[in-house]
Amino acid sequence: MRESPAIHVEEQFDDLSQQRESSSLGMWVFLATELMFFGGLFLAFAVYRFSYPKAFMEAASHLNLVAGSVNTFVLLTSSFLFSLAISAFRDGRKTRTLLLLGVTLFLGVLFLGIKGFEYYDEWRKGFLPGPAFHFQGPDYLHVQLFFVLYFITTGLHALHLFIGLGVIAVFFFLVARSWVRKDREVAIEIGGLYWHFVDFIWIFVFPLYYLLGGGR
């Protein structure tokens, strides 16, 4: 690793620790706003699940439980690996960091792949709301409502995950170019917080949409 020049502190801060704590607090406040953003979606789901339990249970039983479970496991694993990557970065172990970031990246892409397959399957079966929506059974409208919320929630989650993948890719690239330095720990820690948060949201999306169905 190339020996780094002087540790960089932005001019508005007095020292590195102030900069670290500010960045970390800033990220947490941002995550609180993200939580409220998804909170609106969770609320919509809760209200309609409460109002139309039968239709929602019926609709949920049409989701692919295996794909959903595997995806949850994939995200949990990726989160674990990212936190190992942060430790490796702190210890200045470049190869290990790169390896862990690489696998995390792969798992994220795998998640999107599985999700994409699910979307394709649901579209094929006529569950995509809109003119193509096709469902035989009572309470057609509320079953469609379930799928509207499902596509919006998982879609917005996937968008966040995609952004997270971009962040990891940038870290991967930078670490590969010997970017490992003391004052940059906070950047990768914050990236980690975001990735864990995306996982955190999924931890609740999965049971609400996939597990609370009527079973078959």
Partner 1 sequence: MSVVFQAVEVDPRDTPENYLSEGGIFSWLFTTDHKRIGLLYLFSIIGFFAMGAVAALMMRLNLLTPRGDLVQAETYNRLFTLHGVLMVWFFLIPSIPSVLGNFMLPILIGARDLAFPKLNLLSWYLFMAGGAVVLYAVLIGGADTGWTFYTPYSSTYANSHVVLMATGVFISGFSSILTGLNFIVTTHQMRAPGVTWFNLRLFVWSNYATSLILVLATPVLAITLFLMALERIWKVGVFNPALGGDPLLFQHLFWFYSHPAVYVMILPGMGVVSELIAAYSQKRVFGYKFVAFASIAIAVLGFLVWGHHMFVSSESVYAGLTFSILSFLVAVPSAIKVFNWTATLRKGNLRLDTPMLYALGFIGLFAAGGMTGLMLAALGLDMHVHDTYFVVAHFHYIMVGGMVLAFMGGLHYWWPKITGRLYPEFIAKIAAVVTFLGFNLTFFPQFILGYLGMPRRYHAYPEQFQVYHVFSTAGATILGVGYLLPLCYLLWSCRYGKPAGPNPWGAKGFEWEIPSPPPKHNFAETPTQTEPPYAYPVR
Partner 2 sequence: MTDQTSRRPASFRTYLGLTCLLGAAIVFSRLPLGPLRVLLVLLASSAQGWFMVVSFMRVRWQSHLIWLAAGAGLLWLGILFSLTFTDYLSRAWTW
- Where does this chain bind partner 1 (CB under 8 A)? 10-14, 18, 21-22, 25-26, 29-30, 32-34, 36-41, 43-44, 47-48, 51-52, 129-130, 133, 141-142, 144-145, 148-149, 152
- The item of partner 1, partner 2, none sharing an interface with residue 67, based on CB under 5 to 8 Å by kind, is none
In angstroms, give the least distance from the CB of 113 to partner 2.
20
**φ and ψ at 70, to 5 degrees?**
-60, -40
**Which amino acid, one-letter code, is at 46?**
A
The residue among 133 and 213 lying less far from partner 2, judged by its C-beta, is 213
* φ, ψ of residue 116 in degrees (nearest 5): -60, -40
Footprint on residues 82-121 left by partner 2 (CB under 8 A) = 83-84, 86-87, 90
**Amino acid in the structure at residue 108:** G
| The entry of partner 2, partner 1, none that residue 76 binds, CB within 5 to 8 Å by partner kind | partner 2
Around 85, how many Cα atoms within 13 Å sit in the side-chain half-sphere?
Answer: 30
50 near partner 2, rule: CB under 8 A: yes
Residue 145 binds: one of partner 2, partner 1, none (C-beta under 5 to 8 A by kind): partner 1
Which residues inside 29-48 make contact with partner 2, applying CB under 8 A? 29, 31-33, 35-36, 39-40, 42-43, 46-47
13 makes contact with partner 2 (CB under 8 A):
no
Rank residues 9 and 128 by Cβ distance to partner 2 and give the closer one. Answer: 9
- Of 29 and 203, nearer to partner 1 (C-beta) is 29
Those residues whose C-beta lies under 8 Å from the C-beta of residue 154, and which sit 6 or more positions away, are 115, 205, 209
**Interface residue list for partner 2 (CB under 8 A):** 17, 20-21, 24-25, 28-29, 31-33, 35-36, 39-40, 42-43, 46-47, 50-51, 65, 69, 72-73, 76-77, 79-80, 83-84, 86-87, 90, 189, 192-193, 196-197, 199-200, 203-204, 206-207, 211-213, 215
